[in-house]
Amino acid sequence: MKLYDHPGFPNPRRVRIFLAEKGIQVPTETIDVPAGEHQRPAYLKKNPSGLIPALETDSGEVIAESASICRYLEEVHPQPALMGETALQKASIDMWHRRIENQLFNPLGSYFHHSTDGLGDNRYRNAAWGNHNRDQALKELKSLDLLLAQKPFISGDQFSVADITALCAVDLGVALGLFNVEDFQYLHEWHSRVSTRPSAAA
C-alpha cells in the first residue's frame, strides 16, 4: 500500500492517526497541494477527484475520501477495532463519526476555504458562507462539551474513528484561532487524553 499525503493537512492526518492506532506502517508520498501537484495529470490519473489523501492498495486500486480509506483499513486489519465490533457499536460509532464530520470537521474546512486566505484560491470564496460554517462549528463544540461530560470518548467507552476526526477538527479550529479548547471543560479533558496517545503525533 501507499498513502498519498500532505503533512499539516487535517484529512491526511486522520488517516495517519488511524494507521498508527492500527500499528500499520505504509509508505507515503507527499503531494504538494499548494504547488498544484494534486491537479496534475500524474496524480489525477490515480485519483480523478484530485483530493488528498488517497490510498493505493497492493492490487493497484486507489481509494479516496478519508472515511472510506479508514473503512478499508478496518476491514483488512480489524484489530484493534476503531469502528466497532458489534452491530450496535458499529452503528453508534458511524452515527457519531458522521455528526462530527458534518457538524464540526467540514464546517471548519469551509470556514478555512471561504473566510480566510485558505490555499490562496479565491475563485469560489464566499465569506458569509464561511462565517456561517464557523458559527455551526462553535455551536457543535458546545454540544460536544455536554456530551463528553457523560462519557470518556465521543461514542462511549471506546476510542474510535469518531475521536480521531474530532481531534483533527479541534486542532484545526485552534490553529485557525477560532477558540481555545480550555474554554470547554469536558472537551478539554477529552482533548488532553486523546492528544497524549502516541498516534496523535502521526
pLDDT tens, 144-200? 999 999 999 999 999 999 999 999 999 999 999 999 999 999 999 999 999 999 999
Q: Tell me phi and psi for residue 96, to 5 degrees.
A: -70, -35
pLDDT of the residue at 123? 66
* Class of the CATH-defined domain 87-201: mainly alpha
How far is the C-alpha of 34 from the C-alpha of 78, rounded, in Å? Answer: 35
How is the chain split into domains, by residue range?
2-76, 87-201
pLDDT of the residue at 124? 76
Identify residue 8 by its one-letter amino acid code. G
The CATH number that domain 2-76 falls under is: 3.40.30.10
Chain centroid offset of residue 23 CA: 18
- The grid cell for 30 is 507527499
Rounded to two decimals, the pTM is: 0.95
pLDDT of the residue at 56? 97
Which region among 39-53, 84-98, 109-123 has the lowest average model confidence (pLDDT)?
A: 109-123
Chain centroid offset of residue 75 CA: 19
The SS3 of residue 118 is coil
The CA–CA distances, whole Å, from 4 to 26, 124, 135 equal: 10, 25, 32
Same fold, 2-76 and 87-201: no
pLDDT of the residue at 130? 93
- Closest listed residue to residue 139, CA positions, set 98, 173, 189, 96: 173
- Residue 200 DSSP code: G
Q: Say if residue 119's pLDDT is above 90.
A: no
56 forms beta bridges with: 2, 62
How far is the C-alpha of 15 from the C-alpha of 202, rounded, in Å? Answer: 9
The widest CA-to-CA distance across the chain, in whole angstroms, is 49
How far is the C-alpha of 14 from the C-alpha of 20, rounded, in Å? Answer: 10
- The grid cell for 53 is 489523501
